[in-house]
Amino acid sequence: MGVVLAPHGRLLLALTFTIEGAGITEHDVIADPARLGRLDLAVLD
């Protein structure tokens, strides 16, 4: 699960979260363009 920041449609960074039980146990901030390019992203309705 995660959140992306894409001002004006340009992917700037992604925040990823690992959730176990009722809480967040891990998070990661991805801002490296090479890593961002390898992410499999989808827009949810």
Residue range(s) defining the domain that contains residue 11: 2-38
Q: Is residue 45 part of a domain?
A: no
Q: Is residue 43 part of a domain?
A: no
Q: Is residue 29 part of a domain?
A: yes
Instruction: Check: CB of residue 10 under 8 Å from CB of residue 21.
Output: no
Q: Is residue 28 part of a domain?
A: yes
pTM equals: 0.73
Residue range 1-27, pLDDT digits in tens: 889 999 998 999 999 999 999 999 999
Mean pLDDT within 15-43? 93
Q: What is the DSSP letter of 23?
A: E
State the first-to-last Cα distance of the chain, in angstroms, to the nearest integer.
15
Q: Comparing C-alpha atoms, which of 22, 25, 37 is closest to residue 14?
A: 37
